[in-house]
Amino acid sequence: PPTCTPLHAFAVSRHGSRYPFEKGAREMEALEARVQHFLPQCSACPQWLRSWTSPYHHSSPGDLAPSGAREMRRLGERMRQDADLKSLLAKPYEPNVYPIVSTALSQTGRSGGALGQGMFGRAEGSSHDTAAFVDTSQACSDISLRFFKSFWWACPDLKDAEAMDREAERAVAHLLQPIADRLTREWASEWEVSTSHVAYMVDACAVEIALQDDASKMCSLLSPEEFEAWEYAADISFFYNYGYGYAPAYEAAAPLLRDIYSSLATVIEDRLTDAYSSPALVNTRVAHHETLLSLYAILVCLSLPTKVIWSSNWWFYSFGSCNLLHRSNRP
């Protein structure tokens, strides 16, 4: 509202597009082997498919891709230009005023650096982009930002979770089987395409777009309706593993939710008591898609409103993955 002045923001972002991890790389290599074995003489196949090779060739699995760095930089630029955040990001960069924390992985740490470049641009009188400090200490990030890993490792005996995984697998197979059947029938080869192969094709499609900006190959094998079926299948899997389908999975996001509200509450207390114990204006966290999925789920399941009136002159807004605190100019 025009009567409000932004005082503090807490932003949580996924890292930018990355190269596949070892498992994904092996899956694409297996897909390449099947294509080269079964389809070189396939007259019903697209010409490019007969000689298709994996788009993944990188020595550091999981590392941030160049396109991912560009994504994060552009996100930072949009944050700097945002009407609500512009005044908060107007000060010269200082690490304690604009802390950036990420999980202790290459793709998140480098994403935080690229995000900082976009958020702060070039310092006055400098010809170089601001080099923002990114805290990648595991001690301060894994419990609140990579809790989905800690949760499953700490609770290996969750039998009901395993049952839900099997339920999700059955639903995914049901949705992807018609796609596999169609490809097997149309290609008329000895290759009996499985639902796993369909999933590998979609993953290869995502890599081709992210790394090569090319949607003309693997992405062309599925129709828009089939992509919708695959997205629904992925949603079912996320529903049980990180979303509303299994309470412990989203309840594991409680430490991150606590950090967000503690950050905002500290600012409120400082302003009310003139203590100013925290100089931070924008708290930024760079994590993973699982982090955001569970955070969204716990916010919805706790029925937390998107706007909270703390008192007659304090307003809290939540939009996307950014939380913003305003103080009203009214008396």
pLDDT reported for residue 163? 67
Write down the pTM of the prediction. 0.84
Greater confidence (168 vs 183) lies with: 183
Give the tens place of pLDDT for each residue, 217-259. Answer: 999 999 999 999 999 988 888 888 888 888 888 888 888 989 9
- 316's enclosing H/E stretch is strand 314-319
Residue 277 is given by DSSP the state -
Quote the pLDDT of residue 78: 93
- Residue 266 confidence (pLDDT): 86
The residue that leads in pLDDT, 329 or 123, is: 123
Which value, in Å, is the radius of gyration of the alpha carbons in the chain? 23
Query: Rounded to whole angstroms, how far apart are CA atoms 162 and 172?
Result: 15
| C-alpha separations of 261 from 13, 15, 29, 254 in Å | 17, 22, 45, 11
Give the pLDDT confidence score for residue 331 in this predicted structure. Answer: 37
Phi, psi of 96 (to 5 degrees): -80, -15
Q: Which two tokens stand for residue 138?
A: 């595991």
Q: Note the pLDDT of residue 64.
A: 93
Report the distance separating Cα 112 and Cα 73, nearest Å: 9
Q: For 126-246, where are the alpha helices, taking DSSP H only? A: 142-145, 147-154, 159-187, 195-212, 224-241
pLDDT digits (tens, 9 = 90+) for 7-63: 889 999 999 999 888 888 889 899 999 999 999 888 889 989 988 988 877 677 889
- The predicted-structure confidence for 107-163, as pLDDT tens digits, reads as follows 999 999 999 999 998 766 666 778 899 999 876 557 889 887 766 656 655 556 666
Predicted local distance difference test score (pLDDT) of residue 160: 64
Residue 310: strand, helix, or coil: strand
Please name the residue that has the structure tokens 């204006």: 281
Phi-psi region of 125 (alpha: psi -120 to 50; beta: other; left: phi over 0): left
Tens-digit pLDDT profile for residues 255-290: 898 999 888 888 888 877 777 777 889 999 999 999
